[in-house]
Amino acid sequence: MLMRFLPALLLLAASPAGAEPRASSTGPYAEASLGATGFLGAGSRHSRPGPAFALRGGLDVFSWVSLGARLEMENHAADVPPPPEGEYFQLYLGAADARLGFRVGRVAMFADGSLGLAFMSTNVLAKVDLVDPGERWSPLLSAGGGVEYQLQNRHYAFGLAGQWMVLSSFAGMQSVGGRAYLRYTY
Amino acid sequence: MKLPRHRITALALALGACADDPVYLEPAASLEVMAGDEAPATAQLILPIRLEREVEATDRATRTAELGIQVPYVTRDDLDLSLEWTIKNLDPEPGTARIHLNGANELFAYVPGAFVTDPEEEEVPPPLSGDVPLDIPGLGERAGVFQEDLLAEASLDLELITRGGESPFAALLAIQESQREIASGGALLPRDAFASLVRFDLAFVADRHMVLEFTVRVRDHRDPPLLHEELADAPPEELTAFAPADFAPAPAAP
């Protein structure tokens, strides 16, 4: 999805109209996103890609740096040797976020990273040794980046972003995901 | 990374998670039978139940005194149990398999053979669940589930047979789900004090070389949860060691 819209966004940014600075708020922000996440390596063999929903909030400390937090939920179908069959698990993530970026006209580009905790709703992946039988929590580390389009209203922007994440206590499971989001800055 | 269960529950609830998300318990090994085996392959899976807290024990003792009948630590309302299974036929010829599901609550174990005093004359009662002939194609496999309602009924049937004094045939061959209470020795055991299965005894019979794999799925509604947070990895001294007696009916009066 990101690749589909990226050329259009870059064209907008490069156009004479797009190069004109567009007013954008700086300060406290809130963001809601919808996307999809899939695991890599052993994780991809035992769980299917699934939808992800996240809420972020924080503060633009400067126009180019933001600090905040995110809560995210992912849903995945487990794909383990039966039994059990047809089971799902959810990942609940909570993390502190930092974002660095710059703006060219209406378009901003950014890189972000976060550190936090992930909670897995079931131990269904214990069957394939991705988690220990009673293991539910893992530290998480994620990094990513994206592009953001500033709407005419200075409070609103929407964007597309990608993210890589590692869950160290879940056998180092790694995932990649993409999301579309709407951001409101006060 | 392991955190205390009550903190997990609080944090997970804060994140919108369900406190009774399923937990999966695996047996130590699968069950394998060879063609021509007369004896079934058997396995036992005991739920890793944490130690009872003082306040829980006090409440239970109070209720036991009020009712005049022992209230169990693990009740049927605490746990939703299901058992998923897969049978693989390793023989090129099709065959038939049967799963006998028996088990125990914290007071009594159901052993069908214990009801037979004269094998020539008496029929062995059915298992708590299962004993359905399952056709498995050659080199094929088949999966199934003992669903939550079936295992809730099995828990109830075990109470009816043991503390309720019913014949296993009467208890097991009828649906008792609407049972509100069980009369036992002059006392009435209410529905919310029916004991849950805490142990599964599986027996697997087949006429070909077959393997049975199973997983017990538990949804734990107690707060804090009854299942130990480390499940199979829990230290034995942190688990409740139930010692259910094999139930044997009282001998018939002469």
Residues B111-131 pLDDT 10s: 999 998 888 888 999 999 999
Q: Which residue has the higher pLDDT, A15 or B45?
A: B45
As for the ipTM of the complex, it is 0.80
> Which pLDDT score is estimated for A4?
61
Q: In this model, does residue B182 exceed pLDDT 80?
A: yes
Please give the Cα distance from B66 to B159 (Å, whole number): 19
**Are A126 and B21 inside 8 Å of each other by CB?**
no
Question: For residue A124, which residues of chain B lie inside 8 Å, CB to CB?
Answer: 22, 24
Q: What share of chain B in percent tops pLDDT 70?
A: 91
Please give the Cα distance from A28 to A101 (Å, whole number): 16
> Which pLDDT score is estimated for B2?
53
> Which pLDDT score is estimated for B20?
77
Structural contact between residues B171 and B127, judged by C-beta atoms closer than 8 angstroms? no
State the average pLDDT over residues B89-110: 97
> Which pLDDT score is estimated for A23?
82
Please give the Cα distance from B103 to B111 (Å, whole number): 8
- Confidence bin at B253 (pLDDT 50/70/90): low
Mutate to test the interface with B, among A46, A136, A166 (most CBs of B within 10 A): A136
* N- to C-terminal Cα separation, chain A: 28
List per-residue pLDDT tens for chain A, 186 residues long. Answer: 555 655 665 555 555 544 566 688 899 999 999 999 999 988 999 999 999 999 999 999 998 999 999 999 999 999 999 999 999 999 999 999 999 999 998 999 999 999 999 999 999 999 999 998 788 999 999 999 999 999 999 999 999 999 999 999 999 999 999 999 999 999
How buried is A125 (Cβ within 10 angstroms: 0-12 exposed, 13-18 middle, 19+ buried)? buried
DSSP H or E segment with residue A16: helix A16-19
Lowest mean pLDDT among A90-94, B83-87, B179-183, B249-253: B249-253
pTM of the predicted protein model: 0.84
Please give the Cα distance from A82 to B192 (Å, whole number): 33
CA nearest to A92 within chain B = B15
Mutate to test the interface with B, among A46, A121, A127 (most CBs of B within 10 A): A121
> Which pLDDT score is estimated for A186?
92
> Which pLDDT score is estimated for B79?
97
